[in-house]
Each structure stands twice: as structure tokens, then as C-alpha cells.
Chain A
Amino acid sequence: MGVVASTVAAAAPGARFIELRRVSKTFESGDGSRTEALQALDLEVREREFVSILGPSGCGKSTLLRIIAGLMSFDGEDVVVDGESVSRPRQDVGVVFQTANLLPWRNVAANLALGVEIRGESLDSARLAAMVEMLGLTGFESRYPHELSGGMKQRVALGQALVRDPKLLLLDEPFGALDALTRDKLNIELLRIWQAEQKTVVLVTHSITEAVLLSDRVLVLSGRPGKVIEDVGIDLPRPREPRTTRQSPEFSRLVGYLGELMGVV
């Protein structure tokens, strides 16, 4: 369907990892009115693939992510992650939400450790140091959330998901609440981290440039009820260097095309 048919990544994506078959979701509010958030949605993500879900606000993007995470019930056929039907959250999945869910009584190190503590493990100091280094948080290990900027909090939230060494990372507009500069910076960091860790990632976003810069594939959702209206392969070479990637004509073409699809151009 997409203008770019082939999907080429540095490491070619592997076997099918996530599959949604005809998934619907209807919310019923207190007064009995029903809102259809998703309608018979099909979706497939391959192993080690970075897929962004792009759509207007209120189109059910976050609902979709919560269903994949096992946080929300759904109607329809099936949701499969790594060969298993999803019925509740899995230990090998990391979720990062728009608000950094940090515990105010724990410092950075302890908030990072929470990711594995919940499995009854502890975070050894070498791994903690490596994570802190990768997130660019060196020197902030013993700071508390109220002493951190919004961008730093999101780094910690991302780190808390990464220390679990998840097979799948679900990101729900993780940088959506940040200013444009911080957001750009964190996208570059995320690109670097993904290129080092090669997880399967599903990113929900409403930023077209963010989606194009990071993804192997962008799924465009329609307005409510959400359906995949376009599946766009992002054929930019990997590893991507943020500056040159953004300056390439292919990048502008994809951004323009997606903008047209979403009706912003």
C-alpha cells in the first residue's frame, strides 16, 4: 500500500513478533453512551522492527498500545505477542508512558532498579552504571525526581524499562510532554539506544518527523474509530545519523507524504 514497499534495516527484522487480528475496542461511559476507539484493526510487527503508530489525537493510539501491553481488555479475534495470546502484562515487555512514572520517594538509581525489583531481582552496580551512562544521567544517580527536569525524568523512565532487558518496548508518546528541543535531543538518544540494543519497538506518536527519523515502518491511523489506513515503509539507511538523515531528500519526501496523509499539508 505504501509508496515505499521494501523495508530495509541494518539488521533485517526477523519473525513475526506482534500480531493483532480484527481488534476492536468500545468504551462505555457512565451515561450509557458508547465510543468506538478501535475498529477491526489488523497489525503486524516483526522482531527487532521499530514501528511507529501515527494518528490524530483521540484516534485510539494509546488504547492500541495498552491493549498490546495487556493493560486493557479488547474485543475481536486475538492479540499475540511472541507467540502467546495477550491477557495480562508480560515481564519481558517494557512500557514507557507520556508522564514519567517515577516514585517520588526513590532516587534515580532506586527508580531504575524498580524495573527488575518487581521480578524479585536486584540491579547490580555494573549494570546500573552502564545504564546511567547510556542514558546520560551520570552524576544524577542519587537525585530525586523532583530535582530532575522533564527530559531527565523521561530518560529514567526509559531506563527503568530497559533494565528489564525487554524483548518489546512500548512507548506511548514518551517525549510528548517535553519542549521541542528536549524532544529532538531525546529522539536522537532513542535512535542511538535502539541501534545499540535492537529491541522490537512500538512507538505511539503524533510527530511525523519523530516517526520518520526513528522507524522502519510507520502505521497511519484514521480518526476515531481507529483503523490502519496506510503502512509506510521508511527506507532510510541504518545506522542513521540524525543530521544527515534529516537533510536527505528521502526524509523530506516521507515527511511530506505522511503529512499529506494526515491532512496537515
Chain B
Amino acid sequence: MKHQVVRHALQSGAFFLALGLLWEGSVRVFEIRSYLLPPLSAIVRELVSSRALLFRHLFITLEEVLLGFVLAVLGGALMAVAVFFIPIAKRTIYPLLIGLQSIPKVGLAPLIVVWFGYGVTSKVVMSFLFAFFPIVISALGGLAGTPSHLVEHFRALGAPPWITFWKLRVPSALPSFVDGCKVAMPLAVIGAVVGEFVGSNEGLGNLILLSTSSSRGSLTFAALAAVTALSLGLFAIVAGLGKWVWWRAQ
């Protein structure tokens, strides 16, 4: 058993090592210009030498993403509860939401920057917009998917509506809600980076844009690596917190 785990890890490791060597080798053999594709070693060197610069921009993007995501989680949960329990909201706000969701948010980005400025706010809004919808849909699905036999059971126990909500609907919606948060987390990062592309002075998206236009290929790739690491790290945190919700209502 343990032997097999080690063997599988070695297989993965060997694969990625080979991929890295192939990259490094091809770039050198075919003499690809570094603003097109820098060798892997140059990117690693850049990550080390420009770490202060990368961290400064990473923290800006992190701030935007966290604010956008947290607002989306809170807003999404509240919106789902409102749409679920208030019949008029289901007929008015819900179709509006679906309509808004159908607008390509990338296309909205220039407007958002005009409305909310070059600073952090417009990126928080972008991040929020990307993350909000999957959270609302998953929370709504979770609330509506509460098993009907359990709802009847709570009725038989004479449970008042708020008890049914807190002790039954919320816990039974949580697994789906957590799934929605996991989907939304990388989307929140994309939203912030798109916002930075469209108009910003700082952040990893801004760094990617500037380094590309100044032909600093290795810095572009280093910034990309930083965005990827940020996205993966945040996803791991959300997934880790989500482990607390281990059950599935059947």
C-alpha cells in the first residue's frame, strides 16, 4: 500500500521533470526568443530575483480577490435565501439575475472601470461579479434540494419555520453551497485579473500586461506563475474549509 503511494508519486514527479526538461531543452535547441517563450530556468531565476515586486502585486490582487469573493459568498447566500423564501423575489430578482449573468462579464469590464475607477474597487466588483452567480445557484439548489421526506418529518415534529430553516435547510444546503464556493474561488481570481487588464496601475494582471509590452518574457511568466499559485492556494483553503461539511443529505 505505502509502496504503491511512493511509486505513484515517483511516476508523477518523473513526468513533470521530463516536461520541464523538454521545455528547457527545446527553447535552447530551437533558439526561441525569450520574449516569446523564456527557458524554465529563466522564469525560476526571475521568480527569485523579482520576488519583492511579485509579492507587492500579488498582495494587491489578493486583496481584490478576497474582498470580491467574501462579498460574493455573503451576498450569494443572502440572495439565495431571499429568492427561495420570497415568492415575489423569485419572479422579479431571479430572472434579472439570470439576465445579468448572460452578459459576458469580460465585456462589462471597461464599463466597470469607468464606473468604479482605476483603483481596487473596480477589481473587487469584477471579482464579485465572476464569483457571485455560481454561489447563488448552488445555494439555491441546496435549499431547494432539501429532501422532502425530511421536510415532512420536521412538520410532523411540529417544528416552526425558523427551526426547519436552521436545523434542516441550512445544513442540507451546505454541501452544495461549498461546491459552489469551490467553483467560484478561481473565478474570483479571473475576475480581478480581467479588471486589472482593462485598467489599473498595479496587481498581477497589470504586471503581466506591462511586462509583455516591454518584452520581459520571463517576468510575464513569473507573474503568471504567481497568479496560478494564488488561485491554487485560495482554492486549497476553500476546499480545506469545505471538508468541515462532510455529509450529503440523501
Contacts and interface: CB of A to CB of B under 8 A. Distances in A.
Interface in B229-250: 247-250
B52 interface: no
Contact of B155 (A71, A115, A117): A71
B155 A101 contact: no
Contacts of B167: 103, 114, 117-118
Contacts of B153: 95, 97, 101
A69 interface: yes
A143 interface: no
Interface residues of B, number: 18
Nearest to B151: A101
Interface in B143-175: 149-150, 152-159, 163, 167-168, 171
Given A103-B168, A104-B249, A104-B250, A90 B150 contact: no
Contacts of A105: 171, 247
A209 B237 CA distance: 57
Given A97-B149, A101-B150, A105-B171, A89 B156 contact: yes
B202 to A, nearest CB: 43
A118 B159 contact: yes
A101 B158 contact: no
A252 interface: no
Interface residue range, chain A: 20 to 34
A69 B156 contact: yes
B156 A95 contact: yes
Interface string A112-127: 0011011100000000
A101 B171 CA distance: 15
A149 interface: no
B165 to A, nearest CB: 13
A101 B247 contact: no
A91 interface: yes
A87 interface: no
B248 A91 contact: no
A242 B199 CA distance: 82
A11 to B, nearest CB: 27
A99 interface: yes
Contact of B158 (A90, A97, A103, A114): A90
Nearest to A105: B247
A71 B157 CA distance: 10
Interface in A47-97: 69, 71, 88-91, 93, 95, 97
A118 B157 CA distance: 7
Contacts of A97: 149, 152-153
A89 B163 contact: no
B243 to A, nearest CB: 13
Nearest 7 CB-CB pairs, A to B? A101-B153, A95-B156, A105-B247, A104-B247, A118-B159, A89-B158, A118-B157
29 contacts: A69-B156, A71-B152, A71-B156, A89-B156, A89-B157, A89-B158, A90-B158, A93-B156, A95-B153, A97-B149, A97-B153, A99-B149, A101-B149, A101-B152, A101-B153, A103-B150, A103-B167, A103-B168, A103-B171, A104-B249, A105-B171, A105-B247, A114-B167, A115-B157, A118-B154, A118-B158, A118-B159, A118-B167, A164-B157
